[in-house]
Amino acid sequence: MKKVKIGFIGCGKIATCSHAPEFLKIPGKTEISALYDVKAESAQNLKAKNKVEAETYASVKELLASGIAGVVISTPNSLHYELTMQALNSGVNVLVEKPMAATLKEADEMIALARKKKLVLQVNQSVRFVPAYVKIKQLIEQGKIGDPVHIRCLRASGSTPDQGWSPGAKWFIQKKFAGGLIMDIAVHMADMLGWYFGKARNVYSINQTKIKGNDVPDNVTALFDFENGATGVLELSWTIPVGGGLLEIYGSKGTIRHGFNQGNIEMCLAGGKYKTIKPCKYQTSQEWFADSIRGLPRCPALGGVGRHALAYTLAIAESGEKNKAVKPSIN
């Protein structure tokens, strides 16, 4: 098979440090051939850091007409819908960063257009491609810890992304760009809770803004009431001095945890001791995208998964604003 030609719309931190390196690890399948960013220096920086020989374009329209088969959209969140629709209407397969859109209406339109055009619409819900998290999903599905009882997830850091992850990228903390802790982190971790335990009947969240000048929440504590009778807690922060990431999953027969012992998966059955579980092997998001374009088994994080994640994030946001439980709009 010929290499799949990939273009990038948005050449910032995630494109430079994640997407480009991962595509370059599968040279037999893909070629990064086209780049566009509103800041021309960002495209040049991506090329230099990754030693990519790609053409840079002056507009999205020109990039989409350059003969690429797929495009990675890594822009501020508020632009995901518009750019995805433009790419799909141009006959180009799409890998869009999370959240896939700012509203469920937008997400549904993106999914419908991809289906109509018979194109791949993949959402970079990256947790679903991490071998450790995929292995935990397998253990739960295999009934290793029995019926789901409770899940707790903590993700905390001491700074906002514009200060730590991508210095100067203020859109991460601005409502007008659909930024904020909920859209940035809950979109992953709330999706994971629903992936592991099934549909939630209700979500109740306390959302706080502690950093002066922010117009989006930077601390979130959300409670999940699942249809199967299980419960969940999601704790997120951008203001805890010493960050951390912990996951605890309790079942009727045992417990799984992650993040307590050098990032290992650990499982303990009733009456026993914690034992380390090896993660499984799993393809990256980028390789799944390339294979899907080539007609191989389709990716496990297509548009419907992105919508699932968005529905939970919007429920968390609404609950915090209205100070009441909200039923997520899960299909």
Mean per-residue pLDDT of the chain: 94
Position 181 in a domain? yes
- Tell me, yes or no, whether 104 and 44 share the same domain: yes
- In three-state secondary structure terms, 197 is helix
- Tell me, yes or no, whether 80 and 162 share the same domain: no
> Which phi and psi (to 5°) does residue 146 adopt?
80, -155
* pLDDT score recorded for residue 27: 81
Segment 233-272, tens digit of pLDDT = 999 999 998 888 999 999 999 999 999 988 899 999 988 9
- Tell me, yes or no, whether 109 and 225 share the same domain: no
Position 212 in a domain? yes
Can you give the residue range of the structural domain that contains 116?
4-127+285-302
Position 193 in a domain? yes
Q: How far apart are CA 326 and CA 273, in angstroms?
A: 38
* pLDDT score recorded for residue 163: 76
Q: How many domains does the chain divide into?
A: 2
- Tell me, yes or no, whether 190 and 273 share the same domain: yes
Which string of DSSP letters, residue by residue, matches 86-106?
A: HHHHTT-EEEEESSS-SSHHH
pLDDT at 165 over 70: no
- Tell me, yes or no, whether 153 and 276 share the same domain: yes
- Tell me, yes or no, whether 88 and 206 share the same domain: no
| DSSP code of residue 68 | -
- Tell me, yes or no, whether 212 and 276 share the same domain: yes
Q: What is the pTM of this model?
A: 0.94
* CATH code (residue 48): 3.40.50.720
Query: Which is nearest to 98 in space by CA: 127, 124, 121, 78?
Result: 124
Lowest mean pLDDT among 61-65, 214-218, 306-310: 214-218
103 Cβ neighbours under 8 A, 6+ residues apart: 81, 314
pLDDT at 48 over 90: yes
Amino acid at 62: E
Position 331 in a domain? no
Q: Put the strands of the sheet holding 148-156 in their side by side order.
A: 200-208, 219-226, 231-237, 148-156, 244-251, 254-258, 265-269, 275-277
* CATH code (residue 210): 3.30.360.10
Position 45 in a domain? yes
- Tell me, yes or no, whether 75 and 195 share the same domain: no
Position 213 in a domain? yes
* pLDDT score recorded for residue 331: 81
- Tell me, yes or no, whether 188 and 239 share the same domain: yes
- Tell me, yes or no, whether 8 and 77 share the same domain: yes
